[in-house]
Structure 1
């Protein structure tokens, strides 16, 4: 089973892929700047996904973090930001369809609960990002940033949903609490 996971944003997208045998490929890429057109951002995402698919010698399923619902943002964003977030997700779904692979949108709170455990309501975004990095490190990964840690978390969730026990989980007995000194 070859899996790809995506944590998408224009500033820094996190991607992870695993072919079921070797060590997962984890990367983060800037898809554009304030001056980059939406079309170019989508084209860059396409290119990166295509390269990762070739590296894995194909892909069977893509797990993508669902964009936040506009009402959850409480007016702290623009139409352009919403358009871009949903456009990236739509492009990833279109890529999957064109390649003939399964595509799954995953709610952020669902994969995070699986990966870092339950957090009390109101836990700050920065804290959740720190916990994702810490959890990835506990599992033997070395994420360079929170986007890579989120992609690892999504990949770990994808493995669980597919009924796969990956090597980074195989020997896990007790998970240390996150945020512990």
Structure 2
């Protein structure tokens, strides 16, 4: 069985991981800029975090991330672009296949509605037996289930 990492990229990154035994773990990780920290440090912390996950589970076979086409604001768009650039470069460096999946595709698979709200996504994750801490984790869980059920991984 493939080890899959699903990510909802952002300052508060949701993640879900299916290990080689089929067990799913998930969480939400903050990459909020710290006081007295340069603008690029959040991305260095993000890359270090990815490497720690890879080392803790003896490799990652595939990465799926939520592909956002529209953002509420300029800052969110810039942050997302930075996380996506670092993620894809990290995957290329480690020769890990990666794929972006449109938000509507994930929401429709999880809830039947391509425009599901945050509460509906959290409820969908709970119906599958998960207990997400926030909507970011719920989105990553939904993405992981989409990947497992549609991508033959």
Asked whether the two chains share a fold, i.e. TM above 0.5, the reply is yes
Q: Which runs of 5+ in 2 are unaligned?
A: none
Q: Distance in 2 between matches of 1:90 and 1:39?
A: 12
- Is this contact kept in 2: 1:116–1:131, CA < 8 A? yes
Structure 2 counterpart of 1:97? 92
Task: Check if 1:67 corresponds to 2:68.
Answer: yes
Task: Check if 1:131 corresponds to 2:102.
Answer: no
Q: Which runs of 5+ in 1 are unaligned?
A: 165-181
Bigger RCO of structures 1 and 2 (CA < 8 A, at least 6 apart)? 2
Give the aligned length. 151
More strand by share: 2
- Is this contact kept in 1: 2:126–2:132, CA < 8 A? yes
Aligned alpha-carbon RMSD (Å): 1.9
Q: Distance in 2 between matches of 1:83 and 1:146?
A: 20
Structure 2 counterpart of 1:111? 106
Greater C-alpha Rg:
1
Secondary structure in 2 aligned to 1:5?
strand
- Is this contact kept in 1: 2:6–2:144, CA < 8 A? yes
- Is this contact kept in 2: 1:63–1:155, CA < 8 A? yes
